[in-house]
């Protein structure tokens, strides 16, 4: 069996491949997705952060491709026609970012209720103003998580540990640890008027693109806070900017945007009630090892014709 793997990860991949598939032939590709040898007979491809165009060019050279692994949870940039229209298994790395992203959500929430930005301003000004500060608690507040996948579930666990009431939505609703109420993916809008924090943790699909707009923002409480760690395209950014400017919602913690890097002239930079971060909530020194461990586990299953984990529904988009 021939595997097409990123040369960047040669040292980390080789021990894993030797433990699972010692007889496999490996063809390495460079940072541009260019393989070092012919790959027409290769059956396995591990994508590693190159463009959809580069992926398509690589896949067209692989008529025997049977399985593609994606190094992140979101597959919106990988479900190209060359993949969707062929009988190719696609798996992702759902779960590897759950810990850092869920911690980042709590950073946004805590920064809001504890007025972290204001405290930093006072420190910079050498001002001691404890009488002016009206800090709040997370305990007793309600967090609505739109998308209870592995990241959403990790967020729920941490929010619950802070004493928050947690609600959430998922395609197939079922009871989940730490979540008081689970609704179907089309029912979360009815919960917006009661939520103190709304967290978008859904994948970007044709159904979720632009799903959070003017109507949804109008349903939120004036003191509610929106957090987006999913994809910027899920939110109508013009509607969000208007709502933030008019203080129709209290604020937002945004790690993702429709255009990245966020342009210097974006209004988000200047809005005082927005916490902007550069799509970094996923960052952790443990991500690469977790990703390659999932790949190795699935490689073993693939070779033994056993069920694989994190198999993507190519039609649903996640």
Other beta carbons less than 10 A from residue 145's beta carbon = 32
Tokens standing for residue 223? 């003191």
- Residue 126 annotated to the active site: no
CA atoms within 13 A on the CB side of 286: 8
Of 16, 216, 231, 237, catalytic: 231
- Residue 165 annotated to the active site: no
Residue appearing with tokens 């952790």: 284
Of 279, 290, 297, 300, catalytic: 279
Nearest to 196 by CA among 141, 274, 255, 254: 141
Of 18, 36, 260, 270, catalytic: 260
CB 107 within 8 A of CB 201: no
Report how far Cα 111 is from the mean position of its chain's Cα atoms: 20
How far apart are the C-alpha atoms of 223 and 214, rounded to whole Å? 16
- Residue 97 annotated to the active site: no
The residues assigned a catalytic role are 231, 260, 279
């Amino acid at each position: 069996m021939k595997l097409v793997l990123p040369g960047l990860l040669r040292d980390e991949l080789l021990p894993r491949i030797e433990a699972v598939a010692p007889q496999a032939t490996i063809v390495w590709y460079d940072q541009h997705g260019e393989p070092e040898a012919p790959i027409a007979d290769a059956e396995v491809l591990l994508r590693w952060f190159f463009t959809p165009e580069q992926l398509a060019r690589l896949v067209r050279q692989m008529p025997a491709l049977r399985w593609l692994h994606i190094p992140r949870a979101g597959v919106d940039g990988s479900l190209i026609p060359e993949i969707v229209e062929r009988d190719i298994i696609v798996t992702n790395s759902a779960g590897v970012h759950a810990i850092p992203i869920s911690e980042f959500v709590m950073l946004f929430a805590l920064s809001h209720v504890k007025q972290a930005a204001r405290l930093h301003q006072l420190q910079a000004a050498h001002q001691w103003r404890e009488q002016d500060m009206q800090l709040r608690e997370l305990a007793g507040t309600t967090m609505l998580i739109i998308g209870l996948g592995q990241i959403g579930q990790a967020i729920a666990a941490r929010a619950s540990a802070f004493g928050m009431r947690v609600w959430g939505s998922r395609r197939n609703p079922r009871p989940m640890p730490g979540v008081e109420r689970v609704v179907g993916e089309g029912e979360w809008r009815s919960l917006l008027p009661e939520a103190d924090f709304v967290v978008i943790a859904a994948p970007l699909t044709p159904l979720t693109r632009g799903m959070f707009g003017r109507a949804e923002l109008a349903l939120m409480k004036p003191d509610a806070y929106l957090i987006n760690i999913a994809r910027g395209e899920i939110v109508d950014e013009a509607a969000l900017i208007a709502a933030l400017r008019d203080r129709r919602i209290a604020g937002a913690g945004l790690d993702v945007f429709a255009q990245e890097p966020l342009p210097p002239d974006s209004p988000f930079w200047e809005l005082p009630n927005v916490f902007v971060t550069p799509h970094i909530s996923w960052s952790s020194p443990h991500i690469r090892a977790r990703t390659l461990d999932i790949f190795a586990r699935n490689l073993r299953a693939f070779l033994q014709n056993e069920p694989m984990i994190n198999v993507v529904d190519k039609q649903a988009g996640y």
